[in-house]
Amino acid sequence: MLVKDLGEFNLIERFKKRIKLDSSVFLGSGDDCAVLKFDKKRFQLFTCDMIIEGVDFTHKDDPYFIGRKAVAASISDIASCLGTPTYCLVSLGMPKNTSLKFTDRLFKGMRDICREYKINIVGGDISSSRKIVVDVSMLGLVKKDNLVLRNGAKPGDLIFTTGESGGSILGKHLNFTPRINEARFLADNFKVNAMIDISDGLAQDLNHILRQSKAGALLYEGLIPKSPKARNLADALTSGEEFELLFTLNSVEAKRLLKKRIVNFKLIGEIVEKKYGFKLVYNSGRIKDINLKGFTHF
């Protein structure tokens, strides 16, 4: 059997089954961040993201935004656990004939976003490679009472996102704002039951929440916030690298959020019992199973 036959998520599960963790680990593989014991009031969050030329960007893209994206993706992971990013390591692979002008602008993109979010770049590694590879490992902190994972969605919860989806390949996938400010607002004011960032597509990432929460969901066609660049509804549901937050609140908390009329938070559906599956309710009233797939590497 080949990797492409097994698939990305099954490969992750194959590795995960072989990992043994000690008592210092609160949560290992399977969420947006690993969660490590830190002190009496906080957990430490640990995540990594790798972007590769030809997969996540092209050599013709502005290296500033390549560097910025590499860091921003990990910030988004920290945000999805309602944490605050603190430190990162950066590893670079690049061909020997890469120009210093390119590398300087790449680094400026990383440095600028780290300054913006008060993240320390504390080291890394450099190697020669056939294509440009940028790998970022990031630490963060979260109050124990604020930690949110993918497995807490409950029937009756309402489902929200922090923005529009669709057409990210036309530019947003490189130049996006990680939703750390929205995460801090939620952490300070609401009890969030489950959360993930949209990196592989709204439908696919919501499916991760549903699997781990053992729940189903109804999404409503008229509520899906489509980007002006979205080709259609399917694109809004499957477009990867949107880096919006996708989260659930119980009905009381959801009503409180809706009363604030904050334009960034979009209600899109509700969590139901697992037996009802994952469905889309069209404006016409027709109900159909959601079988759309987002991005996978294999």
DSSP 223: G
Q: Calculate mean pLDDT across residues 243-254.
A: 98
Looking at the structure, tell me whether residues 172 and 246 fall in a common domain: yes
108 and 180 both lie in a single domain: no
Q: 34 in a domain, yes or no?
A: yes
Structural domain contains residue 149: no
* 133 in a structural domain: yes
For residue 162, name the pLDDT band (cuts at 50, 70, 90): very high
The arithmetic mean of pLDDT across residues 22-40, rounded, is 95
Q: Would 216 be classed as within a structural domain?
A: yes
Query: How is residue 279 written in tokens?
Result: 């469905």
The reply to whether 181 and 134 lie within a common domain is no
Q: What is the mean pLDDT of the chain?
A: 95
* Whether residue 241 is found in the same domain as residue 277: yes
Alpha carbons 97 and 63: distance in angstroms, whole number: 15
Residue 151 counted as domain residue? no
173 and 139 within one domain: no
pLDDT given for residue 295 in this prediction: 58
* Same-domain check for residues 255 and 207: yes
182 and 74 assigned to the same domain: no
The CB density around residue 24, as the number of other CB atoms within 10 Å, is 9
Residue 100 lies in a domain: yes
Q: What is the mean pLDDT of residues 227-243?
A: 96
Residue 191 clears pLDDT 60, i.e. is over it: yes
On the question of pLDDT at 294 being above 80, the answer is no
Mean pLDDT of 172-197: 97
pLDDT for 12? 77
Q: Mark whether 97 and 229 lie in a shared domain.
A: no
User: What confidence score (pLDDT) does residue 270 get?
Assistant: 98
pLDDT at 6: 79
**Which domain CATH number covers 196?**
3.90.650.10
Return the amino acid letter for 123: G
Q: Which domain holds residue 30?
A: 3-143
What percent of the chain stands above pLDDT 90? 88
Task: Report the CATH number that the domain containing residue 89 is assigned in CATH.
Answer: 3.30.1330.10
Q: Which long-range contacts (CB under 8 A, 24 or more apart) does 34-37 make?
A: 35/81, 35/142, 35/147, 35/149
The total number of structural domains that make up the chain: 2
Tell me the per-residue pLDDT of 35-65, one tens digit each, with 9 for 90 and over.
999 999 999 999 999 999 999 999 899 999 9
Q: At what angle do helices 100-116 and 63-80 cross, to 10 degrees?
A: 30
